[in-house]
Every structure is written in C-alpha cells, then in structure tokens.
Structure 1
C-alpha cells in the first residue's frame, strides 16, 4: 500500500513531523497527533540493513528492515518476519523479567552484529 495518501492525511492533522533513517530498518516518517506517535514506513527514505540483513537471501522481499521485535503466540521473539530461523524461544523466561530482557538483548545484538 503506498504511503503517500496516509502521509498527506496525517499532515492535515498535525505539523509535528520528522524523518528517522538512523539505526536499522526502513526509513520512516514520524508524526505526533494528539500526543500519539505514528510511524509510517516510507520506502523512498531508503533501507538501513545491518547484521544478517546485509547478506540475507530474502532481502529483496523485505518491506521494513529491522526496527521492531515480533513476539508470537507461541512465546517466540524474532527480529524479522521473513526469517523463522532467527526466532528465539522465550516462553521459559516469561517468569523472569531480568532474564528475558538479557536474553532478548543478547539475541538482538548477535543479529545486528551478524553473529547469530
């Protein structure tokens, strides 16, 4: 779905807009409407791949790059919707917030460094 219509509509609701391209993932426009931050992934702003993204065989099909973690109903965390091989099972850590945070942080660091 093209983002242009959404962006045009959000501009009628607010003047609080900025572009984020730093870090990892797809460039995006960020709008703040009534205190709510709305990120619109915008392909025209470019992609910023790291770690496994740079050499990924599925990169051509990627629409967002890495800038969010996904948690599935089975207790798995993965940095990419296209790559189930990058999934980290965390259901055993749900009762241990510190252990969960540490495991996820290590997993994300390994992904972005290309060592996962």
Structure 2
C-alpha cells in the first residue's frame, strides 16, 4: 500500500511539473526598467530594492507567470545605477524607455 501511495504522489508531482513548465513556456516576456541607486549614499536602499524585485520576479516565474486577461506574462528587468543622483536617474529613465523600449518602469 505504501509503495502505491508513494508512486502515485511521484506521478502526480511529475505531471504538475510538466504542466507548470508548459505554462511557463507559453508566457510572454514583459520588459521592465529600473534606474535605482546601486552605488552612492542611497546604495543600501537600492540594493535592497533590487533584491526585492529579483525575488518577486523569481517567485512569479516559479508560479508559472501572471495572467492579464487571456495572456500569461513573466518579467525581466534592465537595471541602471543612478549613483544616488536625481539628475542621473532621469537620464537613465529616458535611456530605458527610448533605447531599450521598456514598457514599464520600477521605482525605488
């Protein structure tokens, strides 16, 4: 009896793995941009912010993406270091939008 239960759980978990993997493969990629302080006097806050974004994105990928309407999305982020300078952040935000064509910006 125990062998059947273990085998059944194994088969169920493998099935869920492949279903989840297939769902991830169907998700589109949504490109985000972030100009945050990774150096300078606000670096500690910026690094924590980046770690939080990366953690959330990883969890979303593990869950199979996020559904908006009929579409599934996963996220990726392009980071720029604004060196804790406000004017640098504005320049980098423009670069993310114009050069990299990010669709959404993340702030600190």
When the two structures are superposed, what TM-score results if normalisation uses the length of structure 1? Answer: 0.27
The answer to which structure, 1 or 2, has the higher relative contact order (CA under 8 A, 6+ apart) is: 2
Rg: which structure is higher? Answer: 2
When the two structures are superposed, what TM-score results if normalisation uses the length of structure 2? Answer: 0.28
- Select the structure that is richer in helix: 2
